[in-house]
Amino acid sequence: MQRRFRLTRRNDIKRVRQEGRSLANAVLVLGFLPNQLKQNRAAVIAGRSVGGAVQRNYAKRQIRTALQTLQPELDQGYDLLIIARKPILDNDYRAVVDGMRSLFLQAGLLKENLN
């Protein structure tokens, strides 16, 4: 995920948490809020409850890669906040992608026509 597509400022992340909608499943929490841009920006968070630094970094790498895989399928113009939950460490990459896709589908962020 390129740096210009990252949500890095604390105030922006806080705004998504407070004003945006959120959905969750066993491995991820998705927060989203429309922005005034033509692209999505995303922040990936893995708290200490996920594990030590190595486990948190592994979880964040999995999430970023899954997000990069799903990016062409997403509608643009949203700030996304993706938070890892502890069970992410027990799941493989495919389960993370499927879980993320299901959250995006519930949120209505997937493009209608993919064909």
Distance, CA of 13 to CA of 1 (rounded, Å): 17
Report if residue 71 sits inside a domain.
yes
Report if residue 111 sits inside a domain.
no
pLDDT at 93: 94
Report if residue 33 sits inside a domain.
yes
Copy the structure tokens of residue 22.
């959120």
pLDDT at 115: 45
- In angstroms, what CA-CA distances link 19 with 14, 15, 35, 39, 55? 8, 6, 12, 19, 29
Domain count within the chain: 1
Domain extent at residue 88 = 3-104
Report if residue 112 sits inside a domain.
no
Query: Which segments of the chain have a pLDDT < 50?
Result: 115
Report if residue 115 sits inside a domain.
no
pLDDT at 1: 62
Report if residue 29 sits inside a domain.
yes
* Residue 12 belongs to domain with CATH number: 3.30.230.10
Distance, CA of 84 to CA of 81 (rounded, Å): 10
- Residue pair 22/95 in contact (Cβ under 8 Å)? The answer is no
